[in-house]
Amino acid sequence: MSIEDIVSRALDEDVGSGDITTELCVPADAGAVGRFIAREPIVVAGLEVLPLLFDHVEIEIGETLATVRGPARQLLTHERVALNFLQRMSGIATLTRKYVDAVAGTRCRILDTRKTTPGLRLLEKAAVKAGGATNHRMGLYDAVLIKNNHITAAGGVTAALARVKNANVPVEIEVRTRAELNEALAAGATHLLLDNLNPAEAREWINHIKGRATVELSGGITLENVRAYAEAGADYVSVGALTHSARAVDINFRLQLE
């Protein structure tokens, strides 16, 4: 789904057969200017949707994020959809930056996950990048991630890895025990996911791996403990909260007639 499709669906959902309040209250020939204003410190994301909603957009730097001009009816009808995207995406970018800053100076990179709002993954992952983190796979189609249920269904770690040998995409496997870890390494795994370890356990496992594979940690990771996981030696830490728990930030829209 493209950004254009996402924005079009959002408008269809909100406007439906027409914005009756605006059509009744606002003259058809009235022109206006609107300003999107940040009311708290944020990392801005989502400005790319504005040209899909307004005819004339000027991106700015500072408290005023953007200025839009056009028919007053258009500005009023599209205001809420624009704010929903900006507030949501900037909230993700702002939270992401906090995680990125928390691991600054380590080699660890912050990853997002597939725990996104249905239909909004493209925009939410763009917001993660705006916050300075790295996108994990976009969906089920662009990388192999063998998790515990796949291992069970495939008949074990070795069997699962053998089945994806010629996948021609990145391959990662989750291991739950030291036995599975050793089996995965013996089978040639180059990217390991270690889930639900505490920082001390993660350090122990990573020391055992000794650079034989790239390591991603996940599960129970918060702003308060993410640095401890990074300092345990992880190459990556994946955080579902970036997209499933980010707070919408406070952005205001102010309109004036021209």
Q: Which residue is catalytic, options 14, 48, 195, 204?
A: 195
Let me know how long the chain is: 258
Q: Let me know if 98 is a catalytic residue.
A: no
Tell me how far CA of residue 47 lies from CA of 122, 195, 224, in angstroms: 14, 35, 30
Q: Which residue is catalytic, options 98, 114, 147, 176?
A: 147
Q: Which residue is catalytic, options 35, 80, 98, 109?
A: 80
Task: Report the relative pairing of strands 64-71 and 31-38 from DSSP bridges.
Answer: antiparallel
Q: Let me know if 254 is a catalytic residue.
A: no
Q: Let me know if 250 is a catalytic residue.
A: no
Q: Let me know if 115 is a catalytic residue.
A: yes
Q: Let me know if 195 is a catalytic residue.
A: yes
Q: Which residue is catalytic, options 9, 69, 114, 115?
A: 115
Q: Which residues participate in catalysis according to the annotation?
A: 80, 115, 147, 174, 195
